[in-house]
Amino acid sequence: MNRLIAIVEKTAGCCIGILAVISFCEAILRYGFRTHIPDGFVIGQTMQGIAICWGIATATYADRHITVDLIYSTSGRGVQRVLDTIGYTINVLFLALFAYAINFKVLDIMKDGEISNDLSIPLWSGYLAASLGIVATLVMSVLRWWQVTRGGPTGAKRHG
């Protein structure tokens, strides 16, 4: 599982790196030379979306969310397990709906044949890569839900 998380994190990291390079070069070209990277905005926007979607996947499985809950932290293990089960169930349901919606968005963009202005890049390819990140998020969320409902460690045990 650690290899899978590493692959997902590297995917998100590569997209962030590409976004940073494009943004830097775009600024230099635009303000220094009054030109631009063809479809630089579209490519940067796509990389940002992919990085966010794949980043959600690693945060979901590794349980690296911001969590501040006085009731949870002062409760016993039984109450924490119930709260974990409820929280992860809601998370799985939300991500299932999100994956369903984003995959239909990909199909709509494919059907409409949307392309970028300068290079005529098909936009569905970026949306597909982002949607695969959300599907990976759903899979990792289901795995975490399975671990928690089968008696895996609760948030308090993992964090402190």
Which pLDDT tens digit goes with each residue over 89-114? 999 999 999 999 999 999 999 999 99
Helix intervals (H) in 63-123: 70-74, 77-112
Phi, psi of 115 (to 5 degrees): -135, 165
Counting the structural domains of the chain, the total is 1
- Say how far apart CA 50 and CA 33 lie, in whole Å: 29
Q: Is 90 helix (H, G, I), strand (E, B) or coil?
A: helix
For 150, other C-beta atoms within 10 Å of its C-beta total 7
**pTM beyond 0.85:** no
First CA to last CA distance, the chain: 22
Domain that includes residue 136, residue range? 2-159
Please write the tens of the pLDDT for every residue from 71-94. Answer: 888 888 888 888 888 988 999 999
